Structure 1
Amino acid sequence: MKFAEILSEKKTAWSIVLLYIILIFSTLGDVVVIVEFAESKLGNIFNIVMNVSPYIFFLGLSLYTIIIRKERRPARYVYLILILIAFFFLRKYLSYPIEKVHLIEYSIFGALFFWAVSVSGLSLLSSFMVAVVASLVVGSADELVQAFIPSRYFSIKDLLINFQSGILGAAIYAGFVREDEEDEEEGGGGRSR
C-alpha cells in the first residue's frame, strides 16, 4: 500500500471517529426525546426492535463465521461464544430503552476507534487497549456533560454501560474484522478454501 493511500485511510478513519463523537455529543439532549417519541408512536414495536436488533447482529456474525468464512479454527468459535456471554452479561443490566441505545452507540464507537487506531499502525493489542481507554474517556465525558443537561442526568451505571459497550465493540472488531484483514494480507490464514 502506498504512503498516500495509508495517509488517506488514516484521515478517513479519524474523520469518521471525530464525526461520530460529534454526533454523540450533539444529540445528548435529544436522545431521550427521540426514544420517547419512538415509544409513543411505535409502542411495543420499538421495544421489540431495541431488544431483537442486537441478537440479529450476533446471529449475522455467527452465520458469517460459519457460512461465509467456513471457519475451522476452534478459537474463533470460542471467541464468538465469549463475546455472546459478554453481551448477555451486559444486556442483563439494561432496563430501559435509552440504556439499550448506549449499548449500540458505544459498541459502534469502540469498533470505530479500534479501526482508526489500527490503521495508524499499532499492533492488535495496542489498538485494543487504546480503544478501551478511549471508550472510558468519551463515555465518561458523555455522562459528565449529561449532568448539565436538564432532560438528562449523570449515572455511574450508564458510564459503565458506555465503557463495557466500547470494549465489546472493540473486541468484535479485533476478533473478526481486523483478523480477517490480517488473514487476507497473509493469503488466507486459517480459513478453509
Structure 2
Amino acid sequence: MIFPSNSSTTASDQAIAINSSGQNSPVNVSFQKVLGTLPSILNPLLDRIITIYEPQYEAAEGIFIDPDIEIKIRYNCVRVYAEEIRDKSGYMALIEEVLDNIDNETPKAKDKFLWAINKKYKDCKKRLFIEHKIDTSNKDSVKDIICDNADRIITDVSRDIIKHAIGHIDSSIELIEAAQELIVCYGFINCQILEKPE
C-alpha cells in the first residue's frame, strides 16, 4: 500500500492494523466493500488539504491534460506502485465528484488541491536533488534520478500530503489509507506527481 508501514503499527476505533514489513510483504488490502463510505472521508480530507494550503496557493498557468497512464508509468519508471495506480485509476470519477462538490462551495478549491500535491512533489524532488548533488540544468541527470527514485517519491509525497490533514478526521486507518491512495493516484494521473511524458 502507499501508506508506509512501520514497526509500531497500531489500530484504533475497532479497526485492524496490518504491518506489511518482513518476508511476506507487501500485503494488499481491498477497499471495495467500503467504497460507499469513501466520500465521507474524502470530503473532509480534501477540504482540510485545501484549507491548509490556502495561504500559499498561487494560480498555476493551467492544469495539465492527462496523458495515457501506461505511458506515464513507463516514462517515470514506476515499478512498485504501477499496478496499484492502474487499479485505482478506475476510481477517479469518485474523487472528481468530491472535488467538484468542494469546488462548487469554494471556487478554485480543485486547483488549490492539485497545486498542493504538486508542491509536495517539488519539495520531495528538491530534497532528492540535494541528496544526490544533481545539477538541475542537466536534464538527463534529472530524468535519471527521478526514474531511479519514482516509487520512493510517490511514498514521500503520499506521506507528506496528508500528514497535517488527518489529525482532525475521525475514521479508521483503513479508510484513511484508501482515501490517501486515491489522492496520490489522482495526483499522478493529473501530472502533479512525477513528470509529464515529453
> Shorter-chain-normalised TM-score: which range?
0.3 to 0.5
The one of the two structures with greater contact order (alpha-carbon pairs below 8 A, sep at least 6) is 2
Give the structure-1-normalised TM-score: 0.36
Give the structure-2-normalised TM-score: 0.35
Give the helix-richer structure, 1 or 2. Answer: 1
Which structure's CA Rg is the greater one?
Answer: 1
